[in-house]
Homo-oligomer: A and B are copies of this chain.
Amino acid sequence: MDALLLDRLLQIGELFQRDMARAFDGSGLTTARVHLLWVLQHAGPSTQRDLARLCDVTPRNITGLVDGLEASGHVRRTPHPTDRRSVIVELTATAAETMTRMRHDHAALNHTLLDAVAPEDRAAVQRGIAAIAARLETLVTEALADAAAAAAEPAAS
């Protein structure tokens, strides 16, 4: 029975992805592009370089995503005021509206999911999920650091 917790969490992750893909189907938006819009909304107008760092993706990839979002009118490229190598990317008014709607949907979904939990369990669930997220974050960060160290020094040990 112990396996249930992890399996449920994986299932929830899959369902989020599927719902996400469905919600943007036909709009020209994709998960990766929405993620970029999300980052832009939080960071404000940014260089592509910064977006690459924030999305943890190569600069080349950002070029492609911004190309697509520019073509669909969600994003605008502007020259950097002082550094002529850089490009500033910012949301258009349309995209800003989309993101506002998305925040509302986000809040509504949060409410719906919390509502599915028995009232007397809610506090424990909030604590438990936070603890799980924190533990997982630590595990993954350490694993990545180990992998990087192993790659950097393949002769050692």
Contact = CB atoms under 8 A, between A and B. Distances in A.
A137 interface: yes
Contacts of A16: 9-10, 13, 136
Tell me the interface secondary structure of chain A in the complex. Answer: helix
A34 B59 CA distance: 28
B3 A137 contact: no
User: How many chain copies?
Assistant: 2
Size band of the interface chain A makes with B: 35 or more
Interface of A: 2-13, 15-19, 22-23, 25, 106-107, 109-118, 120-122, 124-137, 139-140, 143-144, 147
Sorted from nearest, which 10 A-B pairs have the closest CB atoms? A13-B13, A125-B128, A124-B124, A116-B135, A6-B110, A121-B124, A117-B128, A8-B133, A116-B131, A8-B129
Given A8-B132, A9-B9, 19 more contacts: A2-B107, A3-B107, A4-B130, A5-B113, A5-B129, A8-B129, A9-B129, A11-B137, A12-B136, A13-B17, A19-B136, A19-B143, A22-B144, A25-B147, A116-B135, A118-B127, A121-B125, A124-B124, A125-B132
